[in-house]
Every structure is written in structure tokens, then in C-alpha cells.
Structure 1
Amino acid sequence: MNKLPLHVRLSYGIGQLSDGIKQSAFTTFLFFYYNQVLGLPGSLAGLAALLALMVDAVTDPMVGQISDRFHSRWGRRHPFMLAGAIPFGVAMVMLFSPPDALGEMGLFCWMLGGAIAVRLMLTLFFVPHLSLGAELAKDYHGRTSLIGYRVFFTYAGILVTSVIGFAVFFPPTAEYSNGMLNRASYPAFGLFCGVLGTLAMLLSVFGTRKSIPYLSKPVNAKSTRTPLLALLDVFITLKQHSFRIMFYSVLIFSTLAGVTQTLLVYVATYVFEFQPEHLAGLASSILVGIVFASWVAQSLSRRFDKKKALAICVIVGGVFAFSPQILYFGGLLPLMDTTTKFLLIFTVNGISQVFFIAYIILLDSMLSDSIDEHELETGKREEGLFFAARSFATKASYGLGSFFAGIGLDVIQFPRSATPETVSQEAVLSLAIFSGPVMLVLFAATVMISNRYPMTAQRHREIIAGIASAKAD
């Protein structure tokens, strides 16, 4: 296929709405629900997230390898995408509906089991869907454009889930001035997330179905390697220098982003002293990123090439993202009235989202370029395997991120079921330090790693020419 029709690009992109829904539900709401509302210690909630991530470490490469080699009249990606859709919705509903009588360990097990189920069903869709994008678009810059659709819908899912969650499901009531502490609201929220995520998956499957005849064919169909051994294949992908650099970059970036996102409600509630209605408005700042990120990514990559563009996105995004905490330490933020404070944080968040979303677009485009290099070197087209590794690194944003956030909350002895009035100033200050300057320094470390990425536009043109020549022979 040459230029993809608009409806195919939209259908492909909308599938990632489900991942955005999961990201927002897990990092913004789930941890707070089990920790602050149900009373599960932060370290146990973080441990549940980490153990669920370890399951992903096995299932992601398994699904990637199986889909790379799968034969069916629906191709090698679509059957798995379809299989994960409805169970994803069911698992999401169950995760946010634990029985009332569960004790501490019961809550831990329910959170762990539910998180594993949601992750597993999303893996069935997510890994083949990522691979599908690399098959649909082959051009160096056209690939960045298609990935822009996918990232757009990912963040649209985050936006919809966050805004509707705060505004519709968690409004203040006579009993709960902070609606986030109302336990009765969470099952309906889980149902909303499950239904919307399932619909997005199904629309993507059936909307891209006519592209199946034009996609790459299964590789190494007679391989005797078992799916479990595919876990070892992930380490084989890390032998490729360009992919290894990107893998470690996204692993660190996603983990730090996960810590930040997990602490979002805590920081907004206890440091900025916002109510849920303010959080809904604050979440909508992501619209700025959704609108401008794809243009920023393409403009920067054409002017500076992708590696330099990536560094610019991390640095600029990080400075804006953590500037409110820096103003807090300087004593300026507490002096502002609520409206001024909200407008300031909304603005800097919107700008930071532009560059962070552009970062994801560029990174996925660079990963796809690395897959082309792998095909030239080995003769195998194994998007599933490479994007399984990428999927695992991205999902670390919840697993490792929530784990470290949970430990951090316990270390600073942050109280559970707390209102802003009952939290000590020392605890609020510790939370601001952990979520601000510490994270900014660690974000900058990703720049040092990604600067070692060797691929250029010229090198990619040579790779594509080499692949075409090999196929002609």
C-alpha cells in the first residue's frame, strides 16, 4: 500500500484509545482508590502493580512471537486484537468492584489479579496493534505521521477518562467534599472504562480489516521455539544497538512518567489544594498536546533529525512540567488565589504535554526504523517481537512507577484517607520534593541515553533500498 486512506489511519489510531483509558484508570485512579479509599498500604499497592508488570514481562514477548508466526485468513495481527477486546472490558469492571468484606491481603490479591487480567487482555490487542502500524506505513516520515494518529488517540483516551472521571463520577457530595474519596463511585467508573475501551478495540479491528492482504506475511512459521522461549528473544533484540538505546530510553522515561502520573492526584489535592472539578479542568490541558504534538514532532524531526528532536522534547517538556513545584518551594504558588494558580498550572501542563506527546511519536517512529534495520540484517520482519519489548518498557510506567511511588508515600509517612486539612506541612513538602525536582533530574537522564542513537534519515534510506534490493533478488 502507498498512502493510507484516512479511514484506515483513523481506524488504526482509535484502537489506542483503549491504552489511554487503561493508563489513566491505572495511574490516576486505581492506585489512589486502593490506597486512599480502601486503605491498602502504598507499598502493597505498588507491589501489586510491580508483580502484574512481571507477568507482562512474559506475556508481551509471547504474544509478539506468536502473532509474528500466526496464519489465518484474518492475517497475523487481527485475530489477537479481536480476542482481547471483550475480556478487557470485563476485567476492568471487576478490578474496580472489589467485594466489601475483603481485608488487607484480600484487597492486595484482588488488585493483583484484576491488574494482571486487564494487562493480559490489553497485551493481546496492544502488541499486535503496535506491530500493525509498522506494517501499514513504510516511509521514514510517513511512519511518523501514522504514529501521530495512534498517539493522538492514546492521549485522547487519557483525556476522556480523566475529565469524565473527575467531573462525572467523582463530584463533591454532602458526605464527601472530595469526591475522589467516595467508594461508591468507582464501580460505575470501571464500567465506563471497560465499555469504552472494548468499543475502541472493536472499531480498530474492523476498520483496518481490509488492509490485511497488503500486510507482511508470517515469518519462520516452522520455528520449533516455544512461545515461552520468546522471552529470551527479547534479549536478542537488545543486541541491536539502535533498538537497545531506544528500549532503555523508553523504559526510564515511562517509569518516571508513571511515578509522576501516580502522584498526580496527590500533588493536585494536597500541594496545589485543588478540588476534583479543578482536576477535570487540569486534565483537559492535554488537549493542547493532542492538537500540536504531531506537528511539533514532524517539524522538529525534519529540521534536526529525530535524535536531536527527541532531546529537545524531553528537556522543554520536563522544565515546564515541574515548574509548579519549583514555584511552590519559592513561596510564590501558595500566595496565588485558586483561579490564578489553576490558570498557571493549566498553561505549563499544556505546553509540557505538547513536547511529551511529541517525544512518544518520535520514539515510536525511531523504533520502527530500527525494525527495518533488523530486517536488512536478518531477512526477518518481526515487528511483534520488537514491539513486545517496547510494550513492556511502556507498561513499566504503571508497574515500576506505581511501585516507586508507593514506596515513596510510605517513606514520607503520607497518611491514608486524608484530607488536605489533616496532612502535615512536612508531608506536603516531602511530596512536592519527590514529585518535582527529583523527577526533573531523572527525566534529563533519558537525554544522555537517547543521544547515543545512531540512525539518521540518510541511513534509513539506505536500509530501505537494501531491503528492496534483497527482495528483488
Structure 2
Amino acid sequence: MNTRTDSPSTRMQLFYGLGGVANGILTNGLSFFLLIYYNLVIGLPAEVVGFALSVALIFDAVSDPLVGYLSDNTRSRSGKRHPFIYLAIIPIAFLYWFIWNPPETLTTQTQQFWFLLITTILLRTAMTLYDVPHNAMVPELTKDYGGRTTLSGLKVSIGWIAGQIMVIAMYVIWLVPTDTMPYGILNQAGYQEAGLVGAIILALAIAITALGTRRWQDRMTDISHDATYSASGFFKQSISAFKLPALRAIFVSSAIYAVGAGIGAALWTYLTSFFWELNNDQISLILVANLIGAIVGGVTIRMISRSGDKKTSAIVLSILSAVVGAAPYLLRDIGFFPANGTELLIWLLFAHGILQITLIVWTTALLTSMTADVVELGMSQNGFQNEGIITSVITFVLKAGTAGGLATSGLFLAFVGFPESPDQSNLTAEVTRALGWNYACLTLVVYMASVIALMFYRLDKAQFDELLALQK
């Protein structure tokens, strides 16, 4: 078996990392805008939107490892992973456009709910066909301990960069306020135009990363067990994977962390528009800060990949993410943060955006890389490869972050009493204060829970090197 301990080449990093564009467009589109679109534009209660997306997540719990299993056991002239990626291109693009263009014949909330639920399930299933095989490439492309963090980090960073650019475009191009519509975020036509552009970019990004990584598809042919498509084979290999304590720990920790990031993304528009009372130009400036943070995170990912023990680094960064994310809201509540409308507030939020996104990119890259490292542990203990099943954790976690964050945010908005149609009469100071304070408390609890789960991860570099030595 080729151990491929060399660091990934620049070309490999480029074409694999570009796959993150699809993740960024889809994840940020859904995380930042789907809740507010279906809540304030379409008219569904926030908790109903959240419920629909949480139900869709149940299907992901089955489809993600199933696609991983199928790609693990596929033998074709295009390798194990690429056939599934090619199959996903058109469905992902169409369904992403469709979710922003619900038929006008859906006139009742019940019809709108079922449309959102079914379309979300289909979109996430299509994304699974792409993302699970794509993530499974990491442990196959390189077995270099730091190289995996580099590959994972580039995909995460490029995803954030693409996603932030799309969000900036939303505010600058499609959701601009007018005299008749003071809240640009209520412009339905803007969402629909953006949905079409996003769909085109999704198709192109997936096609480019698929074609660009074809030259290494021969690295994705080892199966190390009799390839099989059967229910018993699926359950056997899935159970074997989830018997690994390290995988269970990283799964729980990553999922909780992703939900925390998803909550932040889902509530970001509410917080910037109603808590901080920023206008579109100011929001765009903060989005530029987020973009800078994603770039900084990507440029410095090599430094993180050389930081030694991934677990310790991930714990420290998770704690920093929690503190940095909650700090402005806690400081505002006790009177130690600038008032709304001041220039100092804008620049503090600008600096905060850079730091927060940098920390998220670093942490996500480490958690993704740590998941890929579990493949070697599974090979050692189970005697066969199941990269697809193991790395399906990554895909599920990303979607859990979006869906779980949206579902939690819907309940959260109902809890703080946020009005479905905010205006000067019902958006009181008590509501906005509750929005900021409870958001800070919620994210602190979520991120600390992620850290606790991560403490049960047991796989350091010394153990990883020993496992590689056994494969030679």
C-alpha cells in the first residue's frame, strides 16, 4: 500500500481546495439567509423553518455514511470517488436555485413547509453525493500528518472566502434598501437572482475540482476488502467505524462546534441589522472583515499544521472562539462597549470579524484533519479501508452546523420574543437586549460542550506515525 507521506503538491492543494467554493456558496447561502427568507419574506414562523431543517438533518444521518460506504466499495475507470461527484453537479445546482424560487401556487403555510422540507432533503442529499467522496480524498491524497491539515484548511478557507464574497454581494447587489423597502433583506427578487448566480457557481466549482483531481484518481482504488453493496456490509462497516472512540469523540465535538458556528451564521443578519443597527454599507464593511479573516486563516494554515498536537490546538482555539464570539455582547450588556451609531463601534466590530473568522477557519481545519487521521486507526483495528464512512462525519457535521444552527436559531428567536415583522413599534429595547445577551450565553454553552467532547479524542502524532509504520 502506498503510504504517500510526501506533502501535497501546490497543484493538488489548488484543485482540491477549490472544492470549498461549493461548500461556501451553499453553506453561507442557507446559513445566513434561508431562515430570514422563509421567515420574514415567505412568512413561515421561525420555529417552523427551524423544525423543517432539523427534520432534514435526520435524513443526512443516514445518507452521509451510506454514500461514504458506496464510494468506499466502488470500482470504476474513474476511481472510487469521482463518479459520485459527477452525478451531483446538476442536482445541486438546480435544487439550490429551486429553494429560493418556491412556486407561487404554494399559498398556505402547510404547503410552504412541505416544499421547504422536501427541497432541503433533496438538496442536502445531492450535496452528500459531492462532499462525502470529496472529503474522503484527503486521507487518500496524502498521509502526511501536517499535509492533511493543509488540504483540509485550504478547502475550509476557500469555502469561507467564497461564501463571504457571496454574502457581500447579497448586501451590495441584491438586498439594497430602497425608498419603498427600507429593509433590503425583505427583497424576494434579490434572493431569487442570487439563487440563480449561486447555482451556476456551484456547478462550475464542483466540475473544476472534479476534473482537476482526476490525475490522482489512481490513489483512490485500494479497497483492502471484498467490495460489496449490501445492507449487511453497510451496517458492518459503519458499526466498525463508530466503534472507534476517537471517531465518536471528534464526531460529537465537531457537530456541536458546527452548530455553534451555524447559530452565529443564522443570527448574524438579525444581530447586525437589529442589535447593532448597522446599515448596508456598514454591514458590507463587517463582511469585508470576515473575508479578510478567511484569507488570513488560509494563508496561515501551514503554521497551524505545524503546531504539533492537533487536539491541544483545537481545544485552545475552540475556547478562544467561544470567548471572542460572545465578548462584544457581554461587554455591551454591562456598558463597556461603544454605543450604536458610533465610528468606534464599527471599527471594533471590524477587528472582531477578522479575529473570529480566522479562529473558526483554523479550528474547523484541525477538526477536519483530525477526522481524516482516524482512517489510519480504523485500518489498524478493523483491517480494511473505509475512508468514505469515516470522513462522512465531516459532511454531516457541516450540514449539522447549518441545519442545527438554523433550527436552534428559530427556537431562540421565538424564546426572546423577536417579532415576525419587525418595526418601530414591536422591536423594543428589551427584545434587542435579550437578543444579544442570550446569544452570547448560548454560544458560550455550545462551544464549551464541544471542548468537553473533544477531550475524549485519543490520537496524537506519535500514535499516527506508529499506525503508518504498521502499514508499510
TM-score, structure 1 as length reference: 0.94
2:111 matched residue in structure 1: 106
- Mark the runs of 5 or more structure 2 residues left unpaired by the alignment: none
Aligned counterparts of 1:132 and 1:224: Cα–Cα separation in 2: 20
Corresponding residue SS for 1:151: helix
Q: How does 1:5-404 map to 2 (within 5 A)?
A: 5-101=9-105, 102-223=107-228, 225-226=230-231, 230=234, 233-294=237-298, 298-300=302-304, 302-333=306-337, 335-404=339-408
Deviations 1:343-366 (A, max 9, x none): 111111211211111011111111
Preserved contact between residue 225 and residue 385 of structure 2 (Cα < 8 Å): no
Count of paired positions: 467
RMSD: 2.0
Preserved contact between residue 64 and residue 127 of structure 1 (Cα < 8 Å): yes
1:336, CA displacement in angstroms?
4.8
Deviations 1:367-387 (A, max 9, x none): 111111111222212110011
1:452, CA displacement in angstroms?
2.6
Q: Which runs of 4+ in 1 moved over 4 A?
A: 294-298
1:280, CA displacement in angstroms?
2.3
Preserved contact between residue 219 and residue 382 of structure 1 (Cα < 8 Å): no
Alignment-mate amino acid for residue 31 of structure 2: T
1:449 matched residue in structure 2: 453
1:332, CA displacement in angstroms?
4.1
Deviations 1:384-405 (A, max 9, x none): 0011133212211122221111
Larger CA deviation: 118-127 vs 394-403: 394-403
Preserved contact between residue 31 and residue 266 of structure 2 (Cα < 8 Å): yes
Alignment-mate amino acid for residue 430 of structure 2: E
Change (3 A) 1:322 1:231: farther
Change (3 A) 1:379 1:104: same
Alignment-mate amino acid for residue 310 of structure 1: A
1:411 and 2:423 matched: no
1:438 and 2:442 matched: yes
Alignment-mate amino acid for residue 452 of structure 1: F
Deviations 1:74-113 (A, max 9, x none): 0010010111112111101110011234221111112112
Deviations 1:221-245 (A, max 9, x none): 4435238x73675444221111111
Aligned counterparts of 1:244 and 1:203: Cα–Cα separation in 2: 33
Aligned counterparts of 1:420 and 1:284: Cα–Cα separation in 2: 29
Aligned counterparts of 2:80 and 2:413: Cα–Cα separation in 1: 44
Percent identity over paired residues: 27
1:335, CA displacement in angstroms?
2.3
Corresponding residue SS for 1:175: coil
Corresponding residue SS for 2:309: helix
1:296, CA displacement in angstroms?
5.1
1:124, CA displacement in angstroms?
0.5
Aligned counterparts of 1:212 and 1:284: Cα–Cα separation in 2: 37
Deviations 1:427-471 (A, max 9, x none): 112211221123113312222221232212111111100111xxx
Change (3 A) 1:448 1:222: closer
Aligned counterparts of 1:388 and 1:170: Cα–Cα separation in 2: 35
Alignment-mate amino acid for residue 143 of structure 2: K
Aligned counterparts of 1:224 and 1:440: Cα–Cα separation in 2: 43
